[in-house]
Amino acid sequence: MKKSNVLTSVFVIFLILLFATVGLLSDHVFKDIEKIIYPEEYFELVVKYSEENSVPAALTFAVIKVESNFDKTAESSAGAMGLMQMMPSTYKWLAESKFDEIPITALLYTPETNIRYGTYYLRYLYDKFGSWEKALIAYNWGEGNFKKFLDEHGYTAGDYDSIPVKETRNYVKKVLHHWAKYEELYDNI
């Protein structure tokens, strides 16, 4: 056996023994690492407005994770703004018709305004379409686009491949995955 193969084998055995020894701590260590990947930034605001609008807080965290990765100054190429990537037109409509407020688009960069309106809009879409999955499709693709698609084709839960927009298919899968991770990692949400 060549010296390099022996060294490689010894190194692999060393790694196996190391991981076996550390294995007792691995669940805790991996969970701590996952909490870095899945932060609870803006915890108080997420919980406050999720409760106020009857949206699961873990879902709100997942939407923020996918939409902006917790960057309150994020802006999409389509013009969506802030943590939950609200479209200014949606914000304006909600501010005027649902909250009787004067919309100030720059406020979409403030976490409180963005989370307040984002969770309200998620709940509105849930009430309109009857499930969180459908609400997420409408949130990403647009309420009108999804309604037209439903009227013409219908939608069966979990049938992501029937959604004609790849970005929306991937979006829903990511949010649902992150939602499950948030529920798994945190007992307080």
Q: Do 180 and 107 fall within a single domain?
A: yes
- Say which CATH number the domain at 155 has: 1.10.530.10
pLDDT tens for 6-64 read 566 666 566 555 665 655 556 666 777 888 888 888 999 999 999 999 999 999 999 99
| Domain assignment of residue 14, given as a range | 1-26
| Domain count within the chain | 2
85 touches 151 (CB < 8 A): no
Q: Which has more pLDDT, 161 or 9?
A: 161
Does residue 9 sit within a domain? yes
Assess whether pLDDT exceeds 80 at residue 186. Answer: yes
Kindly state whether residues 11 and 64 are assigned to the same domain: no
Inside any domain, residue 37: no
Is 81 in a helix, a strand, or coil?
strand
In a domain, 31, yes or no: no
- The mean predicted confidence, pLDDT, of the chain is 89
CA distance 86 to 128: 18
Q: What angle do CA 59, 167, 74 make, to 5 degrees?
A: 65
Give the CA radius of gyration of the chain. 21
Does residue 90 register a pLDDT over 70?
yes
Tell me if 182 sits within 8 A of 61, measured CB to CB. Answer: yes
Q: Which positions are catalytic? A: 67
Q: Can you state the percent helix, strand and coil of the chain, rounding each to 5?
A: 70, 0, 25
